[in-house]
Structure 1
Amino acid sequence: MSTNKQLRIISPNGHLGFAPTKEESFKLGAATKPDYYCCDSGSDDIGPAPLGADKSVGMYDWQVHDLELMLLAAREQGVPMIIGSSGDTGSNSRVDMYVQIIKDLAKKHSLANFKLAYFYSEVDKEYVRGKIRDGVQIEGLDGRSSLTLSELDKTDRIVAVAGVHPFIKALDMGADVIIGGRSSDAAIFAAPAIREGYPEHLSYYLGKVLECASFCAEPYAAKESVIGTISHEDVKVTAMHPDQRCTVASVAGHAMYERSNPFFEYFAGGMLDMTNCHYEQYDEKTCRITGPEFVPIDGKIKVKLEGAGKVGEKYIGIAGIRDPYSIKHIDKVIEWSKNQVAEMAAGREYFIDYKIFGKDGVMGEMEPVKDFKSHELCVVVEGVAETKELAEQVTLMATRQIFYARLPEVKGTAGTASFVVDEMLRCTPAYEWTLNHVIPVDDPLELFDVRMIEVGN
């Protein structure tokens, strides 16, 4: 057990590089000399396309900005910096990109030599195929059935979601900076606390409350820094922005907002039970939390796998409608458009979707429009097909046919759509989640190879 009374970790951004970290609150937090600088850089909330296409959704310059803030502060203070799920997805190419950014920043600022650890999270499909053929059950999550070879064949890229173990190993190796592949959001923060001897139940709760940075504070403000403090008895979280506070309501609300059962969070080897959490206002800007429990799960450790597979090429079209009669009968307009696409693309596979946005609300495809009071609508058309040519054709046809819809009681060329985008917008290809499963492993480091290099001027 650590003899230190407390450990302090700064979380500057709930998703590094997704939008730039706000510098004022970060500098206020850095001035308090935290023990660790930790940040999550990824999420599956962004959908399967970035993983499948192996690209980032954050701008490169924003990612450099956030890494630079953290690196300079951590190196000046001489404390560790930890990044998980590098480059949004934690794929190997994103880890390599972040490692190179750290090298470039070290050279730019003439930093003294330091140890940089990194690990990859991508999993070879053949490794997974071998497990299935050996009779290993790779269980599905969120209602999915166990993984089959046919589902695996549809997959272009797989990442394993790391727990605390590769981060702890890197710290044991003497790392000053850690660049991680795909990781559990909370594990990035829990790892240093567990390594330094703080209780697992409080360490995992610390990670849970810090992972989204200022989302646990009020009033709402993103990309602001917060500091989590763990002792052997409690966790405290403090907002750094001058106008934000971590309150009982904001912290409890954040801890419970994103799960079907809001009181439980699962990790490799155990489960965080927040049923008996107690929240109290410690001071004006700080909430104190006690009472979480960590319940070990018997049996093998299971690691989550995320996989994405390409569905087809994708285009977007946009139509604006101001004609009151067309707005009132928008369901018939969409039905006409769909039928015209079906006639044009008969015998070929495609997917078409309509999202209808109006000033009084948002509707999904073909939902009733009774009492819809907007004076204008925006229809976003999404077309997907195996080839770029067919995807563009079905999207263009669907968008233009909104203008040409044949409605009863419309006489002459009154027109329906006031504006149609004829130039289709080509998008990243469409992908789907093919894996949301857990695979049993004998060693929690089995899928994560931790490497170390020395970086400096």
Structure 2
Amino acid sequence: MDNEPVDFVTVLAPNGMLGAGFPEATIERGLRLGADVISVDGGSTDSGPYYLGASQPKTTRAAVARDLRILLKAAAGAGIPLIVGSCGTSGTDDGVDWVADIVADVQADEGLELRVARIYSEQDAGELKKRLDAGRIHALPPTGELRPETLDNCTHIVGVMGHEPIVAALEAGADVVLAGRATDTAIAAAYPLMRGMPAGPTWHAAKIIECGGQCTTNPRAGGVLATIDANGFSIEPLDPTVACTPVSVAAHMLYETANPFEMREPDGTLDVREAAYTARDDRTVRVEGSQFHVAEQHTIKLEGARIAGYETMSFTAIRDPHILADIEAWADLLSTVIKQRVEQTIGLSQDKYAFDVRLYGYNAVLGDLEPAQGAPREVGVMLLVNAPDQATATAVAKIANPLMLHLPTADMDYLPSLAFATSPAEIERGPAYEFVLNHVVDSVTPTDMFRIEFEEAAHHD
């Protein structure tokens, strides 16, 4: 990898997540404008703990393969690196291998010979307990102190890497870096930092482009191109009909941050209090004044998920105007009768299982924060049962079945008929997972918790 000093580095971010798709023409335009590296996020915790707990991808293989085929050919043709972070959605070792298998298939199909590095980020519970005993693991608010058994109960634990393992892979000659769990920004920041760009502008640019076109006036049109130099960075959309504005760029610091002026990375904190956003023309924004404060202690955040029981779901719909006039009272009655029937039927006390009744069409999303008033026209009722085993969860849902079909209010002199969405009404969802780690580890070195493996480029006749 060339490490000669440069005046600027240009990063192409095709979209917010590998497999989400993008117009191929936007990648071609980014290459013509001089992209030095392609970076794309492959995962997220946005969709909940299942993907980490089960080590399963959110995206379909066909969608990931489509995006990778375009990006691998683009990187090979331009002679620039391709970096993918949080492979397989959650960044588990299985996720890295899953993406690597797709890359291998694409390389074979297209006759490419790119050298691939896999960076594994899964953590061993036994090794983490040693660090816990040594006082090197700390809770992040509002999480309490970590107990050793919590680590043992996790089905998968990943460490969230910063840019350093990615840089190590690039410096060792990788053309393609497939990283396990990484900060969304690290994948875009790694190459510019390696080439000597200043940390403040680099991390700020990486934050702005982490979700591709979300910082533009049309997020559906494709990604963006960020050019970082000694004094700041410039950013423009890859689609020439779309614009970046000072507002659309600055607004992205509000996205997924507790503080819109600061963002913590493993090696320090981005500070944008003094950043100035200026329109260079009608579609390009220039940003200067970003700073980065290096931390005294490099840390790695842990993410872990464990099984929190087994779920069975059923869903019915109500249009009866009498019930809907006081839907909360009906929902309370449903909950009460379910508890009574479960104890009468299978002798199960309320501390042995749990369930939620969620009224879609009536405050199911905002709850007590819902500002709208008045009776709804129709409501979907979702019953979600959680129990220590699948059979128990399904038994509770089956006991609730006739209630969700015909439960009248106390003042009704007829049985209403409600409408199940499916037959059978009970849908077994399998194990349900919960996030249980919100802690950081004091690093020995920035790379000591991660493993890098290389695949030599295949040679095709």
TM superposition score category, shorter chain reference: over 0.9
Equivalent residue number for residue 247 of structure 1: 245
Q: TM-score, normalised by structure 2?
A: 0.92
Unaligned runs of 5+ in 2: none
CA distance in 2, matches of 1:146, 1:389: 34
Displacement of 1:426 in angstroms is 2.5
- Equivalent position SS for 1:393: helix
Q: Distance in 2 between matches of 1:374 and 1:241?
A: 42
The 2-side partners of 1:214 and 1:315 are apart by: 38
* Distance in 1 between residues matched to 2:427 and 2:314, nearest whole Å: 6
Matched residue SS, 1:41? strand
Aligned length: 450
Question: Is the 1:322–1:416 contact (alpha carbons within 8 Å) kept by the matching residues of 2?
Answer: no
Which runs of structure 2 are paired with 1:277-356 in the superposition (5 Å)? 277-298=275-296, 300-343=297-340, 344-345=342-343, 346-347=348-349, 349-356=352-359
Is 1:130 aligned to 2:130, yes or no? yes
The amino acid across from 2:43 in the alignment is G
Distance (whole Å) between structure 1 residues aligned to residue 395 and residue 260 of structure 2: 44
In structure 1, the partner of 2:446 is 444
Aligned CA RMSD, in angstroms, stands at 2.1
What's the offset of the Cα at 1:145?
1.7
TM-score (norm 1): 0.93
1:428 positional shift: 4.8
Q: What secondary structure, in the 3-state scheme, does the structure 2 residue paired with 1:114 have?
A: coil
Aligned to 2:193: 194
Partner of 1:5: 7
The one-letter code of the counterpart of 1:59 is T
Q: Which moved more, 1:380-389 or 1:432-441?
A: 380-389
Matching residue of 2:61: 60
**Aligned equivalent of 1:210:** 209
Q: Is the 8 A contact 1:6 1:232 kept in 2?
A: yes
1:23 shift after superposition = 2.8
Shift of 1:223: 6.8
2:292 & 2:370 partners in 1: Cα distance? 47
**What displacement does 1:277 show?**
1.1
Taking a change above 3 Å as real, the CA distance of residues 76 and 363 of structure 1, as seen in their structure-2 partners, is closer
Structure 1 residues 243 and 318: CA distance shift in structure 2, 3 A: farther
The reply to whether residue 372 of structure 1 matches residue 370 of structure 2 is no
- What is the CA distance between 1:120 and its match in structure 2? 0.3
Q: For 1:206-257, what per-residue CA distance to the aligned partner results, in whole angstroms no more than 9, with x for missing partners?
A: 21011100011113x2471111111111111111224321111111111222
1:124-176 Cα shifts (integer Å, max 9, x gaps) = 00011122233x14212231122111322331210000101111101111111
Give the match for residue 457 of structure 2.
Answer: 455
Q: Is contact 2:221-2:242 (8 Å) kept?
A: no
Shift of 1:274: 1.1
Question: Taking structure 1 as reference, are residues 339 and 13 closer, same or farther at Cα in structure 2, changes over 3 Å only?
Answer: same
1:25 positional shift: 2.6
1:33-182 to 2 correspondence within 5 Å?
33-111=34-112, 113-134=113-134, 136-182=135-181
Amino acid at match of 1:108: D
Q: How far apart, CA to CA, are the structure 1 residues paired with 2:423 and 2:323?
A: 20
Identical-pair percentage: 28
Q: Give SS of 1:435's match.
A: coil
Cα distance, 1:318 vs. partner?
A: 1.2
Matched, 1:407 2:398: no
CA deviations over 1:62-98 (Å, ceiling 9, x no partner):
1111111110110011111111100101100111111
- What displacement does 1:44 show? 1.3
Aligned to 2:266: 268
Deviations 1:254-291 (A, max 9, x none): 12222221111001121001111110111222111111
- What is the letter of the counterpart of residue 117 of structure 1? A
Contact 2:117 2:177 in 1 (8 A): yes
CA contact (8 A) 1:355 1:364 kept: no
Q: SS of 1:128's equivalent?
A: helix
Secondary structure of the structure 2 residue equivalent to 1:259: coil
Q: Tell whether the 8 Å contact from 1:213 to 1:224 is kept in structure 2 after alignment.
A: yes
How far apart, in 1, do the equivalents of 2:126 and 2:243 lie? 49
Q: Residues of 2 paired with 1:54 and 1:307: CA distance?
A: 11
